[in-house]
Structure 1
Amino acid sequence: MNSRSKSMTAPRLEPGQVVTLKVARQTDLGAFLDAGTGRTADDILLHKMQQTAAVAVGEEVKVYLYRDPKGRLAASMRLPQMRPGQIARVKVINVTRDGAFVDIGAERGVFMPFAGMRGRVKRGDRVWVKLYTDKSGRPAVTMDVDEEIARAARPAQDIKIGDQVTGTIYSEGESGFFLFTAERYIAFLHKDEVTRPLRMGEEITVRVTYLRPDGRINVSMRPQKEDAIDVDAQNILAMLRSRGGKMPYSDDTAPEVIKEKFQISKAAFKRALGRLMKEGLVVQREGWTYLAGQEHEGAGKQP
């Protein structure tokens, strides 16, 4: 029924918009908001469950628009905590064959297509995203936030080499990871300084190793060099013991093999191996490393 005159200037209402609409009528389900088309049938339901405070007929209410399970335009007074173009660290609430949904504080999760992901995400992950409007006019998010974080960051100050910072991984390149810290610093974590597999969006605490002229910092997951040598040496000994006292890795082994097997650089491996040799705990022969006293067993086949 056409019970109201049609507004000639009424804007087109779409899911994802935050708009102010007038309460046209009340029912047992909730309040119906005037969509501005002049058609009562186009009124938008603001269900009682989506009201954060009581509303009255004639009152103007700020609401977030979304599609209900039947595809109908609906409204909620629970407003998103982001606006298009803004970035935030948000929680992944569901993953589907087509992408994922994240919580931006609105009534419904917002879609993140696979094309907008960095790596793969899982339910419960917290990742940095940017809100935008897709080609169909609906809200969506992307993990491509490098430019936005660069604008939001500030130069590292009141910090020195050896300090610890906590940051979230927001990007990965060929040589390492980029973190955005609690202080709004951008930190680079080289892959040689990574001690375990990392996930996009993961929050980690790292050690500052270099203050860059551009205001950014380089960081490491590894302890200080002297402490790192101790740790690396113990890992080498553990590897040897697990292999019966011998292993086909030595000073001559390729850096990429050392990285794969020990998760450290070739230089770090050589430092730790050198300490073990100096202490008389290991010996090297023909490209193999042995626990001291077991080198007579000879080399075996390389795995």
Structure 2
Amino acid sequence: MAQIGRLNSLIVLHSTPHGVYLDGGEHGEILLPNRYIPKGTGLDEAVEVFVYRDSEDRLVATTEKPFAMVGEFATLEVVNVNRNIGAFLSWGLLKDLLLPFREQANPVHVGEKVVVYILLDEKTDRIIATTRLNRHLSKARPPFKPGQAVPLLITARTPLGYNAIVGGTHMGLLYHSNVGAPLQVGQKLNGYVTALQPGGKIDLSLDASGYQRVASLTDRILEALKNNGGRLSYDDDSPPEVIRSHFEASKKAFKQALGALYKQRRIRFTNPGIEALDIREAKDGDWQPSGPKRQG
């Protein structure tokens, strides 16, 4: 049976002037309009489609893929607000996604990007969005381990730090002391689990700890140097937000990695920026970073 709000592999049953009809199982035949039919598609062949309801409440199929599907969290932009029913979000399909007023934790406005959970409304069998995220987070014990790398979705700024959905299932907290530069609600980035607290709370960091952090970051810096002709404009004085954007690391971690590479004589400081250095090219007169605490 076809699943509404998900990708399905459905069999072509017959064609009409408007498109082909697909076998939706208990949902009956589902139209795939002509503009979405893959070239060369024939009868009895399977087509991967996304199934949803159109403005007239009919099930239709499309080969376009939305930014997110039922059961997923996503950051979507508000493109319209209807004072009678709610807001509409752009989600990559011809028909915008409804965020009903009853599902808004706080009022939203056109142009705003909001973090939502996408679900199938039990009353209408339509796909809708909600900003009431906690209702849809897993209540099970988090399956993560300290030190594990995890994908994060920032949902809110709090006095302690930033709330973030971890791995698409649980809520965690990035303390301000572990961030370094401001983050944006709706931002996706990679982080690390630092601790699992009683009650399932997850403490997070944007950097791995200890040697693992430095070793991983030095590899990324060397790769960036290789891809950029051996020179980069980033160094100790680069703003934290610039370092985070390009290397997904804090300024402290970046400085530690540069210090490690300098001690290995893999780079020289060009003030500003850095340059890849072959050990055989090192010279006594090369410029050195200022200050005795290179890794502070």
- TM-score scaled by length of structure 2: 0.45
Q: Which has the larger radius of gyration?
A: 1
- TM-score scaled by length of structure 1: 0.44
